[in-house]
Structure 1
Amino acid sequence: MAGDDDRVYYVISDLHIGGDEQLEEIDFLDELLAFLQRLERTEENAALVINGDAFGLWEFTTVEGMAKFDVLESTYPELFAQLRATGEQIPITLVPGNHDHELAAYDAYVDRFAEYNVDLVQSQSVTRTVGDHAIHFEHGHQQDPNNHIDNWGDPHVTPLGYYYNTLVTSRAGQLSNRGKYNWLKDVQAVTPTERVPVWMLSKYFYREMNPVLRYALIPFLLLFNVSAVLAVLAGLDLLNIWSLPVDATTAFLGQFGTIGTAVWFLLAINTAVAGVLLLVAIPLSLLRRDIRKTIDRFGVFETGLTVDAEAPYAAAARTVFDEQPATTIFCYGHTHRPSVQSVDGGLVVNTGTWLKRLHRRDGVIGLLPPVFYPSYQLCAVRIAPTEDGVAVEYEQIEKPTPSPEELTLTERLLTLGRTPNVELPDRTVVAGDDAEPSAE
């Protein structure tokens, strides 16, 4: 164990700084510098823990080894200068994550970061004391089978997540500026990764598709649900089973003259297309179901890409709390979801991310692609001793939402009244001695 018992710990994680081409951009650089400057001036007995994925080393595909540090150093001189200044006043501990696992693979990184007053710890986790309690810090990817590092410190390890980020994320950074809007680089903000195809379809429809084609499709897509019902009713009419709905609709629209005729033709076209799609969907659905059963039978995909954001970490925390009775806080990142959960009298704390977050908002009608609403949820977790034990609270770091610039008018209209709730967890105190943590 290390650290003063009365020290206050500030914890951040998942900055993902660096990468190929467009991934070099840091949308939150000003906020990060301001946060570090505040810690530089603090009168608290404070320390900073950067709990993994500070840097996107997996996303560098044109340089190897320590050359990646040279690129970081030359690309972000202000950041490294501020780390040096802040590190002169308070201790800064850097823990490797999966994206920057190479920090644990090359001892030279320790010396290079030491030049900027950053203590790089090359182990999987660190423990610090606060009062009579202890905090376990780890990035969290060791609990994720897709990013688990079997041979810690081996520079050649390549879990599934490594291939995804070197082949997909880094490539997105190289191609992003070719779009009508520089959006492809945000692929690293899409979680879980299964949503990437839907997200790309969404961005194509709302950003890349020819506007004339898009606005021509919107009425059909909005009316699809109605048209599907009308297609069934039209089929019943053609079979002379039930003609009342079609006759009633025709009579009703006939009252409005030319406008009614135009609406009738629009509905007729939509109904015809919807009918064809419904007929095709039946055999396709049966085929998809049979293929799925075959894949499951052979066990081709035994491990999904989605990893539970809470259960594996609760299980890991129970093990740590059992083996180290003084430890009452298990602090991790990795999943990008700030949260606090009570486990066996202790707390499991997720520090979130400084990347943009994308919140899926499905359409309430029709077949329009979902909208991925962007927001920032920048925060630092403050862990401090209190008279009752240890308090965990989230400090919000304000950053305006990027939605006005990044969402089209259509997307903004479709998400009216449906913006995401990005509130951070409440302050929680863990008292120890088998007392349950309490939220305030």
Structure 2
Amino acid sequence: MPTDADDRVYYVISDLHVGGDEQLGEVEALPELLAFLERLERTDENAELIINGDAFGLWEITSVEGTDKFDYLTDTYPRLFEQLRTTGDDVTITLLPGNHDHELAAYDEYVDRFAAYNVTLVQDDSFTRRVGDRVVYFEHGHQQDPNNRIEDWGNPDASPLGYYYNTLVTSRAGQLSDRGRYNWLKDVQAVTPTERMPVWLLSKYFYREMNPLLRYALVPFLLLFNVSAVLAVLAGLSLADIWSTPVEEGTAFLGQFGAAGTALWFLLAVNVAIAGLLLLVGIPLYFLRRDVRKTIDRFGVFETTLTVDAEEPYEKAARERFAADEETAIYCYGHTHRPALSEVDGGVLVNSGTWLKRLHRRDGAIGVLPPVFYPSYQLCAVRIAAEADSVAVEFEEIRKPSPSTEELTLTERLLTLGRKPDPELPDRAEIPNGRSATPPEPAE
């Protein structure tokens, strides 16, 4: 196993979330993870693999307690642990606990048990590595999240708000997922930010759980609401003697079709009346909601929401770290599941993403239909290496096809035609020896 770190190349992955109750135990990216570890095993580089938190979903394993969870993991994923052992014969593997697997920092026994598989477990909440003449700071990122911050690090009874959410909600979703018409509830961990959960549940109910006959019967009425809303506005203009031409011409046109035209006119009139009533009620409610939201924002009532701001806390932490130590030029974290790279005060802030599925919200192009959550994978590893006059930070993509064909209904696919997400990984960045980063081009 290499020990000289002067020319070491670091590969960083995070948020694998291996393990969980029942359906959560299915690791969809396991083949890609094994292939990635096998590739590292064959590398000629002086490499170190850093798993930067949430390698395992210990919070979501509620059937066993304490270090018995290690036996659960090795029994459930024998190929993964054997590959870790094999890769670790040639490549240093360092594991840092995150919030979901904070228990790894709570029991010293884990250190020896992981060492048997050639994995070095660091039981602190952060550590550093030198690359060239610069320093990389690693932390999982949950310590910057007030809802998942572990105040008493290493305490096996530590239970921030996120602990209760995952042990009571996420794990329960894994236990119930296979009871649905389609096994979709297990994707609960991919819903970020967490406040989207109610909308996601509504979407999956409508497109997956609702009786198909009922759904296909509702779709035309929901689509017709748009037309009715426009007609309601035109009817209001006609009643106010502002503009009556559209209503008069529409009535004359339908009158040509006799009883069928009368029936259609009656149907439209009912829809217009309903849409008009909803519009009249909705207008004051909109302004009321807008005023309430402004008041809430002004008082900062929701500053500590169930999820953390995607960037701001980490930019602040990176600035503080760079100011405290001039050699530190890279702040690397995970936790938010969003691959990102940005320049901060001459250094680089980099998020190593997730190996879970990602869900991209696509609001309906037409109608008042629920949004579609389009699934994809954005698997990646961050590579950090010293070059002649700089330190390079770049993302390496691990390809995995989108599961949209299998997981989206025909209705969802039709509603997202031409609107499929195409997430791109951030571009490469270089940090010259003078600690002034060459910022990457912003990704779409």
TM-score between both structures, scaled by the size of structure 1: 0.93
Higher mean displacement: 405-414 or 229-238: 229-238
Instruction: Please tell me whether residue 45 in structure 1 is matched to residue 29 in structure 2.
Output: no
Residue in structure 1 matched with residue 24 of structure 2 by the alignment: 23
Instruction: Please tell me whether residue 116 in structure 1 is matched to residue 117 in structure 2.
Output: yes
1:275 and 1:434, CA in 2 relative to 1: closer, same or farther beyond 3 A?
same
Moved over 6 A (4+): 289-300
In the TM superposition, what are the counterparts of 1:103-252 in structure 2 within 5 Å?
Answer: 103-235=104-236, 237=238, 243-252=244-253
| Cα distance in 2 for residues equivalent to 1:269 and 1:286 | 26
| Cα distance in 1 for residues equivalent to 2:329 and 2:298 | 43
Whether the 8 Å contact between 2:426 and 2:440 is mirrored in structure 1 is no
Residue in structure 1 matched with residue 314 of structure 2 by the alignment: 313
1:248 and 1:190, CA in 2 relative to 1: closer, same or farther beyond 3 A?
same
| Cα distance in 1 for residues equivalent to 2:130 and 2:416 | 45
| Cα distance in 2 for residues equivalent to 1:135 and 1:205 | 46
Higher mean displacement: 171-180 or 424-433: 424-433
AA at the equivalent of 2:41: E
1:290 and 1:61, CA in 2 relative to 1: closer, same or farther beyond 3 A?
farther
In the TM superposition, what are the counterparts of 1:275-294 in structure 2 within 5 Å?
Answer: 275-281=276-282
Residue 223 of structure 1 aligns to a residue whose secondary structure is helix
| Cα distance in 1 for residues equivalent to 2:267 and 2:84 | 62
1:188 and 1:435, CA in 2 relative to 1: closer, same or farther beyond 3 A?
same
Higher mean displacement: 130-139 or 295-304: 295-304
Whether the 8 Å contact between 1:130 and 1:385 is mirrored in structure 2 is yes
Shift in Å, 1:254: 3.7
| Cα distance in 2 for residues equivalent to 1:72 and 1:18 | 7
AA at the equivalent of 2:227: V
| Cα distance in 2 for residues equivalent to 1:344 and 1:297 | 29
In the TM superposition, what are the counterparts of 1:238-277 in structure 2 within 5 Å?
Answer: 243-255=244-256, 263-277=264-278
Shift in Å, 1:436: 3.1
Whether the 8 Å contact between 1:221 and 1:368 is mirrored in structure 2 is yes
| Cα distance in 2 for residues equivalent to 1:210 and 1:412 | 18
1:298 and 1:311, CA in 2 relative to 1: closer, same or farther beyond 3 A?
closer
1:263 and 1:407, CA in 2 relative to 1: closer, same or farther beyond 3 A?
farther
Residue 18 of structure 2 aligns to a residue whose secondary structure is coil
Residue in structure 2 matched with residue 363 of structure 1 by the alignment: 364
Residue in structure 2 matched with residue 56 of structure 1 by the alignment: 57
Shift in Å, 1:121: 0.0
1:434 and 1:394, CA in 2 relative to 1: closer, same or farther beyond 3 A?
closer
Residue in structure 2 matched with residue 9 of structure 1 by the alignment: 10
Whether the 8 Å contact between 1:105 and 1:155 is mirrored in structure 2 is yes
Whether the 8 Å contact between 1:52 and 1:139 is mirrored in structure 2 is yes
Shift in Å, 1:262: 5.9
Shift in Å, 1:314: 1.2
Residue in structure 2 matched with residue 423 of structure 1 by the alignment: 424
1:313 and 1:229, CA in 2 relative to 1: closer, same or farther beyond 3 A?
same
Shift in Å, 1:220: 1.8
1:361-396, CA deviations, whole angstroms, 9 ceiling, x for partnerless residues? 011332010000000000111111111211111111
Whether the 8 Å contact between 1:428 and 1:437 is mirrored in structure 2 is yes
Shift in Å, 1:215: 1.2
Higher mean displacement: 268-277 or 423-432: 268-277
Shift in Å, 1:423: 1.1
Corresponding pairs, count? 439
Residue in structure 1 matched with residue 386 of structure 2 by the alignment: 385
Shift in Å, 1:205: 0.6
Shift in Å, 1:270: 2.6
| Cα distance in 1 for residues equivalent to 2:432 and 2:303 | 41
| Cα distance in 2 for residues equivalent to 1:396 and 1:419 | 19
What 5-or-longer segments of structure 2 have no aligned partner? none
1:309 and 1:258, CA in 2 relative to 1: closer, same or farther beyond 3 A?
same
| Cα distance in 1 for residues equivalent to 2:243 and 2:297 | 42
Whether the 8 Å contact between 1:95 and 1:121 is mirrored in structure 2 is yes
RMSD of aligned Cα (Å): 2.3
Higher mean displacement: 211-220 or 256-265: 256-265
| Cα distance in 2 for residues equivalent to 1:324 and 1:411 | 50
